[in-house]
Structure 1
Amino acid sequence: MDAARGHTAGMSMEVPQIFDRRIVRLHRDRAAPALDQVRPVLEEAASRLLERLDDVTRVFGTALDIGGRGVVAPLLRARGIDTVVGDLSPRICALDGGPAVCMDGEWLPFAPHSFDLVVASLSLHWVNDLPGLLAQVRRILVPDGLFLACMPVLPTLAGLRQALMEAEMARHGGVSPRVSPFPGLRDCASLLQRAGFALPVADGDVIHLSYRTPMGLLADLRHAGETNALHQRTRTMTSPGLIADAMSRLPRDGEDAIAQDLHIAIMTGWSPAPTQQQPLKPGQFDVSLEDMLRGPQPT
């Protein structure tokens, strides 16, 4: 285990630090008292993610909830699964009524084969070394353990990103990064394969969100702890004029509401085990694809 830690630490030094993890923690601490304001969105994402458990016959006894913000763990415990909460924010950990570990989500302080199930709902998009984290998840899962995750993907917040860029370019002649970069759906499937999960699947889903005013969108981002934590963010206070200009540029739908849909990838992957089904190798098929497409031939 110590050797694995040393190897992981050595690898992480080479990973580009896109996100400021200290700021991510501060944002989550600040958001802890206001999480009820965004609970419907968090619950919708968690419920769509945990629906995948209804299609699985395997029984899960122990689970780790990574960054579920007080929503995922109660749902898992309601299913009879002993659940440990892990979160970067001490304040969010303190809100949980069960066992909780205050930890940096980029390093999982658990022994190999500690959990049957690991769930990460809307908590992976601020991680610098996502391939490294997924490899750690696979390590702490028992053989034939399940990893479930959902994370924002493109084009989430595309309208806000474009509005901020246009407003800043018009006012200052340049732009600074203000919205987190998101992966694409294909990237998520590739990440699962790269981490060595068996039977990896990444499905797309959309949670439709609409706001009466632009400030409603900004308030939800703040209440969820999702404001700018990029390392290259501007350190100066954003002027109210720039915010007002950007908000006026947000696209509106036919009812003059502001649509900012949350596009998510729902990811599933299994820790490899000898009992799992294996894909056939080339040449092992009993019927060729050509024969299947042609269908039965007259005798």
Structure 2
Amino acid sequence: MPPRLTDRAALARNRARADVLFLQAASADDVHERLIEVNRTFTAPAVVTGFPEAWTDWMPSAKIVGDSETLDLEEGAHDLIIHALSLHWADDPIGQLVQCRHALKPDGLLIATLFAGQTLHELRSVLAEAEVAQTGGLSPRILPMGEVRDLGGLLQRAGLALPVADMMPLTVTYDTPIHLMRDLRAMGEGNAMNQRQRTPTSRKVFAQAMSRYVDTFAMDDGRIPATFEIATLTGWAPDDSQQKPLRPGSAMSRLSDALGTDELPLDRSDD
């Protein structure tokens, strides 16, 4: 069993209070544009999400399921599954992707989005600096964020074909760090880590962190930036109709012929 990262009860409480869903909307818009580029009609879609209200209107024909540890998806039932901006809270992200793959029909498409990369790096750094300065230690406050090169590997480990991973950076600005903290709570993205500190953060730590945020990151107009990076993972359920990579040494023509150049032997006289 993977280590317990998320307190699911706390996450559910946070999400129940959420009413600021502009990043969910931005993710939905990005997925919509990707589906237009795919240029295929999907007749049996499903959306895995902790925020059904953000996705129901956008894809009313989809089956909406929660991002619980065991997904309510029937094997081989869907030609499209969107795992919508919640995979970062999964204790077992590969397990989530494997479940999605099993629920796809052959040549079905999975699109998974999650916060990753440099998301909230400004807040992470100032909270860590302030806590170390005031207490001499650190407590878990913000989820660890995967890098795109590592996230792409999750698709392959889950058995998906033609894997692609990319990152969409977004910068949101606020009047003060307090406004950012309020927005995070209103997004349902507050601290729900299982190993989080259960007592309130001391006023000294919080005040020092907020001051460091302004001193380090404030822009010319006095507003402070908050970085969000949404990773998008795209993969297909394996099917015989899909293109296969050639075996090494199986090329039928020379690169020099394609480029219209002469191929010269390698000079190893200096070896």
* TM-score for the superposition, normalised by structure 2: 0.89
Calculate the aligned-residue CA RMSD, in Å.
1.7
Partner of 1:63: 45
Q: Deviations over 1:84-136 (max 9, x none)?
A: 11125xxxxxxxxxxxxxxx1x2112221121111122111000001111000
Q: Say if 2:102 is the partner of 1:85.
A: no
Most deviating of 227-236 and 67-76 = 67-76
SS at match of 1:265: strand
Partner of 1:76: 59
Unaligned 5+ runs, structure 2: 263-271
SS at match of 1:207: strand
Partner of 1:10: none
Q: Deviations over 1:216-244 (max 9, x none)?
A: 11111101111111121111112333222
Deviation at 1:288, TM superposition (A): 3.7
* Matching residue's letter, 1:52: R
How does 1:35-184 map onto structure 2 within 5 Å?
A: 35=19, 38-67=20-49, 69=51, 70-77=53-60, 82-87=61-66, 104=68, 106-184=69-147
Mapped to 2, the partners of 1:277 and 1:211 lie a distance apart of 47
Higher relative contact order (CA 8 A, sep 6+): 2
Mapped to 1, the partners of 2:149 and 2:11 lie a distance apart of 26
Pick aligned residue for 1:270 from 236, 242, 249: 236
Most deviating of 259-268 and 67-76 = 67-76
Q: Report percent identity of matched pairs.
A: 39
SS at match of 2:62: strand
SS at match of 1:134: helix
* TM-score for the superposition, normalised by structure 1: 0.81
Q: Say if 2:188 is the partner of 1:230.
A: no
CA contact (8 A) 1:204 1:266 kept: yes
Mapped to 2, the partners of 1:243 and 1:170 lie a distance apart of 12
Unaligned 5+ runs, structure 1: 1-13, 89-103
Mapped to 2, the partners of 1:291 and 1:183 lie a distance apart of 42
Most deviating of 124-133 and 238-247 = 238-247
CA contact (8 A) 1:146 1:269 kept: yes
Partner of 2:3: 16
* Matching residue's letter, 2:107: D
* Matching residue's letter, 1:190: G
Deviation at 1:289, TM superposition (A): 4.2
Mapped to 2, the partners of 1:272 and 1:221 lie a distance apart of 38
Partner of 2:166: 203
Mapped to 1, the partners of 2:113 and 2:73 lie a distance apart of 22
Partner of 2:223: 257
CA contact (8 A) 2:47 2:82 kept: yes
SS at match of 2:137: coil
Q: Which has the larger radius of gyration?
A: 2
* Matching residue's letter, 1:165: A
Between the two proteins, the alignment pairs up a number of residues equal to: 258
The 1:166/1:60 distance shift into structure 2, 3 A limit, reads same
SS at match of 2:16: helix
Mapped to 1, the partners of 2:92 and 2:50 lie a distance apart of 19
Mapped to 2, the partners of 1:118 and 1:257 lie a distance apart of 38
The 1:202/1:111 distance shift into structure 2, 3 A limit, reads same
CA contact (8 A) 2:84 2:112 kept: yes
The 1:285/1:211 distance shift into structure 2, 3 A limit, reads same
Q: Deviations over 1:63-98 (max 9, x none)?
A: 111116222332223xxxx2111125xxxxxxxxxx
